[in-house]
Structure formats: structure tokens, C-alpha cells
């Protein structure tokens, strides 16, 4: 009971701080020109304040500084560094290779501190898997930040479901950090849910992906001795970000487009182009994230039994991906600026 009360307190503290900071940020964003203008490869149709992720970072840092007691210090430090890298990208637009190099340095820094995912027991292979995992999930969250409320909701869902296995395995510090992250993104989601008044930008999406990816493999878990289960647990937990990344990678590769170039070909855009609309599309993808995270959390309780559940879920997700790939191209909501342009030309 004490653990859950402590988690609730951290969640509420981070949520309250985040909401207050976002409210202040909104008042200053226009004056400081911290605004994302509509672009052909983006979904939003109105100039909107961005880089709200810095408020998420600050709220997490304050709660961590007061009550974190230095737990998972390397993850906290490099997650903050990645968020600042994202803030720079939000403001000046870094080249993809420069941004990836910064992410790689942060990932290597965490690995050097001792955070290594060991599903095989062979150190060189485990180091490579750890690096690919951290870098991959960081960029996966960057990719799913493409519609109002989507990325923030997924971050809250994954952090929330990850708390249970963390507590079950005695990782109270990890559960507390997860509760803090969930709270900070919840405070942000109040302003980011459709119609969004603010975007998190790379400062928020990269922070979410990096911190959650690291905490997922840093927490002590029982030795199942089943390689497939060791891999399946984290994969199911992050099912939706991985799914969307694979979908856009396949679609862009087959279309002859670079994966790093943005577009309106994500799962969220394709669902929104159907009769669902934006809000229901986000709800469907939140549900997918919750199913995957629940199955991933259950893996640590019954590593062998969850194989069947995980296998069925992966097959269903693959079918869902084929369905999305065959949906007609989505239409961008028309902005007032575009309508004015058409009327005058």
C-alpha cells in the first residue's frame, strides 16, 4: 500500500508541475516564437506552440531531484541530454545523421554505466541488442508523435503497465520513475488532446522513447531461461511504437522514399482517413498499445504461457498492418492559410 501511495504522489506531483509549466509556456510561446507552422508533411493545419517536451523534462527533473535519491542516475542524465538534443532539433532542424549521432552517444553512455539487456548471455551480442533497442525505441516514439494526444497517451500507457512488473520484481525505484514520467505526460496530455493547444516536439518524444526503453531493460527481472520470452516481453510492451515504425519503414521503402523523411503515411493518419476520424483513431491505437503493454507485463508472471498470447497478438497486428497499408491515401485537413491562398490564386 505504501508503494502505491508513493507512486500516486509522484504521479500527481509530476502531473501538476507539468500542467502548470505548460500553461506558462503557452503564454510565452508566441512571444518567443516557439511555434510550429503547418507543413505539407505534417498533420496539423494551424500554427501551434511546440517543444512542450521541455516542460515535461523540467517537471520530471524536479520530482526526481526532490525524491529520486539518485536512482538510475545515468538513465536520468542521458534522457535529459536526449531531450535537450530534441529541443535543439525543434528549434533549428538538425540533420537526421546529427540527431542519430547524439542519440547513439547517449545510448552508449547508458550502456557504459552498466545498463545492458542480456537475453542471450553472450556479451558482444547483448551489447549490440541493447544499443539497437535504445536507439530504435527512441526513434519509434519520435515517429508516433504525429497526431494530437497519440504519443503522450502511449507513453502514459506503457509507463503505467511497466509499473506492475517493476514492483513485482522489487524495483521500487524504477516504478517511481515510471510513475513520474506517466504523470508528466498526463499533465501535458491535458493540453495536447485534440484539438491540441501545444505539441511536445522532439524534446518530448525522444525523452519518452529513450527513458522508457532504458527503464524496460534496466529493471531486474527473473531469469526465465527462455530466449523468446526475454525478447517477447519488451517487444510486446512497446508493440505499437514498433508496429508503426515497421509500417512506415515498409511503405516508404517500397515507395522509394527515405525513412527519415516525414509524411502522412503513419497508422494514425491512415485510420483517421477512414470513417473513424482523428479522435477515434487515437483511441484505437491507445487500445493497441494497452493490449501490447498488458501482454508484456504478463510475460514476467508466466513467461512460457504468454507465448501463445503474444503470438496471436503479433499475428493480429500483422493483419492490422496489411489492412492499414491498403487504406486509401489520407487527406490533409485544409488550413485557413491554404484556403486563402487558393482563393487569391
Q: What is the pLDDT of residues 289-321, one digit of tens each?
A: 999 999 888 876 665 666 667 777 888 888 888
What percentage of residues in the chain have a pLDDT greater than 70?
Answer: 82
Taking only the tens place, the pLDDT of each residue in 66-75 is 987 778 999 9
pTM value > 0.75: yes
Whether residue 60 contacts residue 77, with contact meaning beta carbons closer than 8 Å, is answered with no
Query: Three-state DSSP class for 332?
Result: coil
For 234-273, the pLDDT digits (tens) are 888 999 999 999 988 888 888 777 776 767 778 888 888 8
Show me where the domains of the chain are located. 2-336
* Alpha carbons 43 and 236: distance in angstroms, whole number: 28
Mark out the alpha helices in 113-220 (DSSP H runs): 123-144, 150-168, 172-192, 201-218
What is the chain's mean pLDDT, rounded? 84
Minimum mean pLDDT range among 132-141, 174-183, 249-258: 249-258
pLDDT value at 200 more than 90: yes
Distance, CA of 38 to CA of 324 (rounded, Å): 25
Q: Which residues of 169-181 are buried (b: 16+ CB within 10 A; e: fewer)?
A: eebebbbbbbbbb
Distance CA 99, CA 256 (A): 22
Amino acid at each position: 500500500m505504501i508503494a502505491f501511495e508513493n507512486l500516486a504522489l509522484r504521479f500527481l506531483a509530476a502531473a501538476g508541475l507539468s500542467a502548470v509549466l505548460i500553461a506558462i509556456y503557452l503564454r510565452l510561446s508566441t512571444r518567443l516564437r516557439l511555434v510550429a507552422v503547418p507543413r505539407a508533411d505534417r498533420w496539423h493545419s494551424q500554427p501551434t506552440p511546440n517543444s512542450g517536451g521541455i516542460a515535461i523534462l523540467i517537471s520530471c527533473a524536479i520530482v526526481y531531484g526532490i525524491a529520486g535519491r539518485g536512482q538510475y542516475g545515468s538513465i536520468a542524465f542521458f534522457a535529459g541530454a536526449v531531450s535537450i538534443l530534441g529541443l535543439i532539433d525543434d528549434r533549428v532542424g538538425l540533420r537526421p545523421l546529427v540527431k542519430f549521432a547524439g542519440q547513439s552517444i547517449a545510448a552508449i553512455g547508458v550502456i557504459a554505466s552498466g545498463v545492458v539487456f542480456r537475453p542471450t548471455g553472450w556479451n558482444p551480442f547483448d551489447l549490440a541488442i541493447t544499443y539497437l533497442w535504445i536507439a530504435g525505441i527512441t526513434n519509434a516514439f519520435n515517429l508516433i508523435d504525429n497526431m494530437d494526444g497519440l504519443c503522450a497517451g502511449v507513453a502514459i500507457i506503457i509507463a503505467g503497465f511497466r509499473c506492475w512488473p517493476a514492483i513485482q520484481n522489487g524495483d521500487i525505484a524504477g516504478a517511481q520513475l515510471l510513475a513520474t514520467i506517466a504523470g508528466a505526460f498526463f499533465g501535458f496530455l491535458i493540453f495536447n488532446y485534440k484539438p491540441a493547444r501545444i505539441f511536445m516536439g522532439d524534446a518530448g518524444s525522444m525523452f519518452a522513447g529513450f527513458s522508457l526503453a532504458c527503464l524496460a531493460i534496466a529493471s531486474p527481472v527473473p531469469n526465465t531461461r527462455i530466449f523468446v520470452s526475454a525478447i517477447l516481453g519488451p517487444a510486446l510492451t512497446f508493440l505499437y511504437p514498433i508496429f508503426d515504425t515497421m509500417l512506415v519503414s515498409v511503405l516508404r521503402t517500397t515507395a522509394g522514399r527515405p525513412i527519415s523523411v516525414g509524411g502522412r503515411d503513419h497508422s494514425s493518419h491512415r485510420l483517421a482517413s477512414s470513417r473513424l476520424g482523428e479522435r477515434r483513431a487515437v483511441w484505437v491505437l491507445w487500445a493497441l498499445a494497452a493490449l501490447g503493454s498488458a501482454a508484456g507485463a504478463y510475460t514476467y508472471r508466466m513467461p512460457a504461457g504468454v507465448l501463445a498470447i503474444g503470438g496471436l497478438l503479433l499475428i493480429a497486428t500483422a493483419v492490422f498492418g496489411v489492412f492499414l497499408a491498403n487504406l486509401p491515401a489520407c487527406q490533409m485537413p485544409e488550413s485557413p492559410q491554404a484556403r486563402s491562398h487558393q482563393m487569391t490564386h
